Homo-oligomer: A and B are copies of this chain.
Amino acid sequence: MFLGRVVGTVWATKKDHKLEGLKFQIVKKVDQELNLKPDFAIAVDSVGAGAGELVLCAAGSSARMTPITQDKPVDTVIMAIVDQVDFDQP
């Protein structure tokens, strides 16, 4: 999984019918200091993550293992909102 921050939203009216009602969030990966990296992915939100929140994302077929993404053309899902990140080593 990767650690990222919600930095925006994508809106799409014309889409595969299974995607109706899903929210597409823009997630930027973060580094060890939780600073934003330049690259971003679009992820379906399954846990109510809001703008600016630190989240965990699962990618690939595992992104379809939540109740709202099952069997849908979704390859990245936000499946947790992060409370705390502890690095033991610098």
Residues of A within 8 A of B (CB): 1-3, 5-16, 18-19, 24, 26, 31-32, 36, 38, 40-43, 46-48, 51-52, 56, 58-66, 69, 71-77, 79-89
Contacts and interface: CB of A to CB of B under 8 A. Distances in A.
A11 to B, nearest CB: 4
Task: Report how many copies the assembly holds.
Answer: 5
Nearest to A83: B11
Nearest to A17: B67
Among A52, A61, A74, A75, the one with the most B-chain Cβ atoms within 10 Å of its Cβ is A75
A25 to B, nearest CB: 10
Given A1-B75, A73-B66, A86 B9 contact: yes
